[in-house]
Chain A
Amino acid sequence: GIQVEQSPPDLILQEGANSTLRCNFSDSVNNLQWFHQNPWGQLINLFYIPSGTKQNGRLSATTVATERYSLLYISSSQTTDSGVYFCAVGFQGAQKLVFGQGTRLTINP
């Protein structure tokens, strides 16, 4: 069946550290988005990246569609980066985004 798996489920880091979050998906995709959900519940769109590499400040993302994975890189972490990071995938032929279970990131000062 269609699956989206994120790893690690939890990550605790000190401020200033770098991190890599991974999203594996089970089939061909035509949509992949990374979201950050802050402690108040707001889902913020980070990247729309069904393939290729994008960068936005300290964040960057790479999707290798042929190998069915995407990576989100966070450099020089800040406490405001804390929250849950979701990968959401739109599979070809399907009609909805499928969310992974998320990675809960905690950045300690």
Chain B
Amino acid sequence: DTEVTQTPKHLVMGMTNKKSLKCEQHMGHRAMYWYKQKAKKPPELMFVYSYEKLSINESVPSRFSPECPNSSLLNLHLHALQPEDSALYLCASSQDPGWSTDTQYFGPGTRLTVL
């Protein structure tokens, strides 16, 4: 089973709200990723977790806070977002933490709208 699940599918939030996105995989993968995708653009890497530790932060603003509670779960906590943060947020995982050489599997995404 090569499935990555994400919840919620859609999220609308105000600029003063706090919300969280959730990602889960049960493939035993040891690397997990958050990507952001704007309309008509390719996905952009935000964060990489390797063995449940944050290994890459692509200079993402602090209003985005990732968390990896265990090897199967990845959260993205959102606080004080701006309308320009509206996008599709994609989670991915791969088996090998030496991840640049490994297949990445993506979840269906959360479509976020910030009002």
Binding site for B on A (CB under 8 A): 30-31, 33, 35, 40-45, 48, 50, 86, 88, 90-91, 94-97, 99-102
The dominant DSSP class at the A interface is: strand
Given A45-B106, A50-B101, A86-B43, 11 extra CB contacts under 8 A: A31-B101, A31-B102, A42-B108, A42-B109, A44-B106, A45-B105, A91-B100, A95-B99, A97-B45, A99-B42, A99-B43
Q: A41-B111, A96-B48, A96-B56 are in contact. Are A33 and B104 (CB under 8 A)?
A: yes
Q: A41-B111, A45-B104 are in contact. Are A95 and B43 (CB under 8 A)?
A: no
Q: Which of A42, A94, A100 contacts B42 (CB 8 A)?
A: A100
Indicate if the CB atoms of B111 and A97 lie closer than 8 Å: no
Chain B residues with CB below 8 A from A97, complex form = 45, 100, 104
Closest 5 CB pairs of A and B: A99-B42, A90-B100, A43-B106, A48-B103, A41-B109
Chain A residues with CB below 8 A from B111, complex form = 41
Indicate if the CB atoms of B106 and A35 lie closer than 8 Å: yes
The dominant DSSP class at the B interface is: mixed
Q: A43-B90, A96-B56 are in contact. Are A86 and B42 (CB under 8 A)?
A: yes
CB distance from A62 to the nearest CB of B (A): 18
A96 vs B48: C-alpha distance when bound (angstroms): 9
29 A–B pairs (Cβ distance < 8 Å), ordered by A? A30-B100, A31-B101, A31-B102, A33-B103, A35-B106, A40-B108, A41-B37, A41-B88, A41-B108, A41-B109, A42-B109, A43-B92, A43-B106, A50-B101, A86-B43, A88-B42, A88-B104, A90-B100, A90-B101, A94-B100, A95-B99, A96-B45, A96-B56, A97-B100, A97-B104, A99-B42, A99-B43, A99-B44, A101-B42
Chain A residues with CB below 8 A from B41, complex form = 101
Question: In the complex, which of the residues B42, B88, B106 has the most CB atoms of chain A within 10 Å of its own CB atom?
Answer: B42
Chain B residues with CB below 8 A from A30, complex form = 100-101
CB distance from B9 to the nearest CB of A (A): 9
